[in-house]
Structure 1
Amino acid sequence: MTPERDTTPRPASYRRIASLAIPALVVLAAEPIYLLIDTAVVGHLGAVPLGGLALGGVIMGLAPFIGAVLAYGTTARASRRYGAGDRTGAVAEGVQGTWLALAAGLVMIVAFQFLAGPVAGLMGDDPAVEAAAAEWLRVAVLGAPFLLVAGAGQGWMRAVQDTKRPMWFVTASFLLSAVLAPVLVYPVGLGLVGSAWANALAQAVSGVLFLLALRREGVPLRIDRELMSKQLVANGDLIIRGIAFQVSSFSATAVAARVGTVALGAHQIGMQLWFFAALALDAVAIAAQALIGADLGAGRPAAARATAKRLTIVGLGYGVAFLLTVLALLPVLPDLFTAEPGVHEQLGYIWPWLVLLLPVAGVVFALDGVLIGAGDLRFMRNMTVISIASGLPFTWLTLVFGWGLTGIWGGIAVFMLVRLGMILWRLRSGEWAVTGAERA
Structure 2
Amino acid sequence: MTDSSRQADPSSPSAARTDRHLWQLAWPIILSNISVPLLGLVDTAVVGHLEDAIYLGAVTLGAVLFSFLYWGFGFLRMGTTGMTAQAHGRGDHDRLRTLLGQGILLALAIGMLLMLLGSPLISLGLGLMEASETTRALAHDYASIRLWSAPAVLINYVILGWFLGLGNSRVTLGILVLTNVLNIVLDLAFVPGLGMTSDGVALASVIADYCGLAAGLWLVSRQLSRMPGHSDRAALLSLSAWSVLIRVNQHLFVRTLCLLGATAYFTSQGASFGDETLAANAVLLQFVMITSYGLDGFAQAAESEVGRAVGQGDWQRFTRSVRAATRFSLVTAAAASLLLWLLGPQMIALLTDLPEVRQLAITYLPWMVAMPLVAVWSYLLDGIFIGATATREMRNTLVVSLLAFIGLWPLLESFGNHGLWLAFLLFTSVRSVVLGGYYLHHRRHHWR
TM-score norm. by structure 2 comes to 0.82
1:168 and 2:174 equivalent? yes
1:233 and 2:238 equivalent? no
Q: Secondary structure, in 3 states, of the residue corresponding to 2:246? A: helix
Q: Which residue number in structure 2 is paired with residue 416 of structure 1?
A: 428
1:29 and 2:34 equivalent? yes
Q: What code does the residue aligned with 1:421 have?
A: V
Over residues 369-428 of structure 1, what are the superposed CA-to-partner deviations in whole Å (9 max), with x where a residue is unaligned? 111111111111111111122223566889x76935x45544332221112222333333
Whole-angstrom distance in 1 between the partners of 2:254 and 2:216? 26
Q: What code does the residue aligned with 2:18 have?
A: S
Whole-angstrom distance in 2 between the partners of 1:48 and 1:408? 31
Correspondence 1:2-401 to 2 at 5 A: 9=8, 11=15, 13-39=18-44, 55-124=61-130, 127=133, 130-131=136-137, 133-181=139-187, 184=190, 188-216=194-222, 217-218=224-225, 220=231, 223-226=236-239, 227-256=241-270, 259-260=273-274, 264-326=278-340, 330-334=344-348, 336-337=350-351, 339-341=353-355, 343-348=357-362, 351-393=365-407
- Is the contact made by 1:42 and 1:192 (CA closer than 8 Å) also made in structure 2? yes
- Is the contact made by 2:306 and 2:318 (CA closer than 8 Å) also made in structure 1? yes
Q: CA 1:21 to 1:209, structure 2 compared with 1: closer, same or farther past 3 Å?
A: same
Unpaired stretches in structure 2, ≥5 consecutive residues: 9-13
Structure with the higher helix share, 1 or 2: 2
Q: Which residue number in structure 2 is paired with residue 403 of structure 1?
A: 416
Over residues 273-332 of structure 1, what are the superposed CA-to-partner deviations in whole Å (9 max), with x where a residue is unaligned? 433432432111111111111111111123313431332222111112233445565455
- Is the contact made by 1:383 and 1:419 (CA closer than 8 Å) also made in structure 2? yes
Whole-angstrom distance in 2 between the partners of 1:168 and 1:111? 32
Q: CA 1:251 to 1:332, structure 2 compared with 1: closer, same or farther past 3 Å?
A: same
Q: CA 1:396 to 1:367, structure 2 compared with 1: closer, same or farther past 3 Å?
A: same
Whole-angstrom distance in 2 between the partners of 1:390 and 1:44? 44
Give % identity: 25
Residue 101 of structure 1 and its aligned partner are, at CA, apart by 1.2
Unpaired stretches in structure 1, ≥5 consecutive residues: none
Whole-angstrom distance in 2 between the partners of 1:291 and 1:420? 21
Whole-angstrom distance in 1 between the partners of 2:265 and 2:195? 33
Q: What code does the residue aligned with 1:427 have?
A: Y
Whole-angstrom distance in 2 between the partners of 1:403 and 1:13? 46
- Is the contact made by 2:22 and 2:321 (CA closer than 8 Å) also made in structure 1? no
Q: What code does the residue aligned with 1:100 have?
A: L
Residue 145 of structure 1 and its aligned partner are, at CA, apart by 1.8
Q: What code does the residue aligned with 1:292 have?
A: V
Residue 204 of structure 1 and its aligned partner are, at CA, apart by 2.3
Whole-angstrom distance in 1 between the partners of 2:445 and 2:318? 7
Whole-angstrom distance in 2 between the partners of 1:13 and 1:139? 45
Q: What code does the residue aligned with 1:357 have?
A: M
State which structure, 1 or 2, has the greater radius of gyration over its C-alpha atoms.
2
Whole-angstrom distance in 1 between the partners of 2:212 and 2:409? 36
Computed over aligned residues only, the root mean square deviation of the Cα atoms, in angstroms, reads 3.5
Q: What code does the residue aligned with 1:228 have?
A: W
